[in-house]
Structure 1
Amino acid sequence: MTASSPLQASSAQAPRALDDFLARAAARLSQVPPAPYAADSHATLNGDHALGGHGQVNDKPPRPAAVLVAVVARPEPTVLLTLRSTTLSAHAGQIAFPGGRRDPEDKDEVATALREAREEVGLAASLVRPLGFLDGYLSSTHFWIVPVVGLVQPDYALTLNPAEVQEAFEVPLSFLMTPANHQRQSLMRDGVKRQFYAMPYEGRFIWGVTAGLLRNLYERVYA
């Protein structure tokens, strides 16, 4: 995404909730991607480590990745999420945004996010309008994730790649942006108590990286 791709104002006829989100996004989302990961700034970065209990800093540079934080432009906006395949090597069986590792052929992080969304769930790039970026996120699996927020036309159609995605579904943005729904939970792993955000919704357990990115969306756009 470049400065030549500004957020366009919604029409006066658009629903109030969508208008509110777009206005906030235009004012508060970054129009440039987060800076590349730097180990000396680890303590101040957003990521799985931010709530504590995730061990020492990995000396190796993290693998670059991007995800599409897809907000569907319904009268009451929703967020498009996926349930990852249980056979994947990272974050298997978890709820996630479409996204993945950046390929050398990708022009930028937006290209990565749109390519991954097309490959994973068949979402056409022509139906997505990039709005801006959230803060970079360092995952416990050592990915440096650039979150691209995009507005998705509600008449989209999906074709899931079963090797990567079991299911795609929507969750109301209003639920995800309500702080009372942002639980702080913990688990023991490798003898370390690790803390994370969780946002359980109608039998679905949204947690870890995905919940952390949604919390950052709240902090950047609504807090």
Structure 2
Amino acid sequence: MAKMTDDTADRLRAALSRAGAESSDFDLNPDTVLPPNRRLRPAGVLVPIDLTGAQPRVILTKRSSALKHHPGQIAFPGGKQEESDADVTAAALREAREEIGLPPDLPQILGHLPSHETVTGFTVTPVLAVLEHRFDARPEPGEVDEIFSVPLAHVTDPARFRVESRRWRGHRRHYFIVPYGPYYIWGATARILRGLADRLDT
């Protein structure tokens, strides 16, 4: 188990060291023209890799279907940076504690993936971390319907990703998906995972 943990952490650190561009919800839609003076709000999401089982797994959430924004979507734990947060890493850890009950001192932070711009006006910094100890996962009532995990090997295999599209605000929008069982992982979450997959595949 210790060797698998070390090997996975080493692979992830190597992936972080490779060059890579920022991404956005628009980068599969080259005709999109974004306002040059737009103001983006900072946010952080935790990409927690659970190393406590037989294989590394990524912890994800299914957002509550009652939420106003992104109801029922698959997401990393995280959210916007508040004034009380020292930085986006602190925001990601705070939100992970609130959303899934993850103690903030448990994740071993490896670093940041390039930021991702969302259609909702955030610049999201993915904070990559590994978990070497189990914790009592608890979904935040009213925010999270389900906490689940998927194999890291599945969501970092470029062959598992597809591009789909739908109409959004009168335009055809294309986006990545990487489905797993009953879970339709798409949008920003899939795009961030695709960026990690590209680095691990190099």
TM-score between both structures, scaled by the size of structure 2: 0.91
The change in CA–CA distance for 1:54 and 1:67 in structure 2 (over 3 A counts) is farther
Aligned pair 1:70/2:48, yes or no? yes
Q: Deviation of residue 54 (structure 1)?
A: 7.5
Select the residue among 141, 147, 164 that pairs with 1:168: 147
Instruction: For 1:64-103, list aligned pairs within 5 A.
Output: 64-73=42-51, 74-103=53-82
Aligned pair 1:28/2:15, yes or no? yes
Task: Write out per-residue CA displacement over residues 102-129 of structure 1, whole angstroms, 9 at most, x where no aligned residue.
Answer: 0011111111110000011111112111
Q: Which residue number corresponds to residue 48 of structure 1? A: 25
Select the residue among 83, 86, 92 that pairs with 1:104: 83
What residue ranges of structure 1 are gaps of 5+ in the alignment?
A: 1-12, 35-43
Amino acid at match of 1:62: L
Larger deviation, residues 117-126 vs 83-92: 83-92
Q: Which residue number corresponds to residue 5 of structure 1? A: none
Select the residue among 184, 187, 192 that pairs with 2:166: 187
CA distance in 2, matches of 1:113, 1:137: 14
The change in CA–CA distance for 1:194 and 1:53 in structure 2 (over 3 A counts) is farther
CA distance in 2, matches of 1:62, 1:158: 31
Amino acid at match of 1:92: P
SS in 2 for 1:160: coil
Q: Deviation of residue 28 (structure 1)?
A: 3.1
TM-score between both structures, scaled by the size of structure 1: 0.83
CA distance in 1, matches of 2:131, 2:157: 21
Question: Residues 66 and 99 of structure 1 are in contact (CA less than 8 Å); yes or no, is this contact kept in structure 2?
Answer: yes
CA distance in 1, matches of 2:187, 2:30: 13
CA distance in 2, matches of 1:174, 1:54: 33
The change in CA–CA distance for 1:141 and 1:20 in structure 2 (over 3 A counts) is same
Taking only the aligned residue pairs, the percentage that are identical comes to 38
CA distance in 2, matches of 1:222, 1:149: 17
What residue ranges of structure 2 are gaps of 5+ in the alignment?
A: none
Larger deviation, residues 97-106 vs 149-158: 149-158
SS in 2 for 1:125: coil
Amino acid at match of 2:27: A
Amino acid at match of 1:47: S
Q: What value does the CA root-mean-square deviation take over the aligned residues? A: 2.0
CA distance in 2, matches of 1:54, 1:181: 26
Runs of 4+ in 1 over 3 A off after TM superposition: none
SS in 1 for 2:136: coil
Query: What number of residue pairs does the alignment pair up?
Result: 199
Question: Residues 156 and 200 of structure 2 are in contact (CA less than 8 Å); yes or no, is this contact kept in structure 1?
Answer: no
Aligned pair 1:158/2:137, yes or no? yes
Amino acid at match of 2:63: R
Larger deviation, residues 86-95 vs 100-109: 86-95
CA distance in 1, matches of 2:177, 2:29: 15
Question: Residues 84 and 94 of structure 1 are in contact (CA less than 8 Å); yes or no, is this contact kept in structure 2?
Answer: yes
Amino acid at match of 1:72: D
Task: Write out per-residue CA displacement over residues 118-163 of structure 1, whole angstroms, 9 at most, x where no aligned residue.
Answer: 0111111121110111010001111100000011234111121122
